[in-house]
Amino acid sequence: DAGITQSPRHKVTETGTPVTLRCHQTENHRYMYWYRQDPGHGLRLIHYSYGVKDTDKGEVSDGYSVSRSKTEDFLLTLESATSSQTSVYFCAIGTGYSNQPQHFGDGTRLSIL
């Protein structure tokens, strides 16, 4: 298994509270990604990073921010969680070559009440 750890694995929180999800890799890959998985939508890219302090938006970035201060860590923050952000969040890592597959962590199940 690719060395990707997501934490926490499960979280329940209330609307309006801030939430931070962490992704940690031991592969020294340049690229890191945050996706959310929802029924009927598959996996959708939220944000991605192409290096330390280098990030960019994906297709569903509204309401989310990210930070990458070290190669191995990529944080996803919901500044003020809403019920529509209830989802399963996956982190992925990649070399940056489009012909090499991204590898995924096991996900964080986030419920916002």
Partner 1 sequence: DQQVKQNSPSLSVQEGRISILNCDYTNSMFDYFLWYKKYPAEGPTFLISISSIKDKNEDGRFTVFLNKSAKHLSLHIVPSQPGDSAVYFCAASAESGTYKYIFGTGTRLKVLA
C-beta of 15: minimal distance to partner 1 in Å?
25
Instruction: Note whether 74 binds partner 1 by CB under 8 A.
Output: no
Near partner 1 by CB under 8 A, which window of 16-24, 65-73, 75-83, 94-102? 94-102
3-state secondary structure of 14: coil
Render 45-93 in DSSP notation, one character per residue. EEEEEEETTEEEE-TT-TTEEEEEEETTEEEEEESS--GGG-EEEEEEE
Instruction: Note whether 86 binds partner 1 by CB under 8 A.
Output: no
d(CA 96, CA 113): 37
Counting residues that bind partner 1 (by CB under 8 A) gives: 28
Q: Residues interacting with partner 1, by CB under 8 A?
A: 4, 31, 33, 35, 40-45, 48, 50, 56, 58, 90, 92, 94, 96-99, 101-107
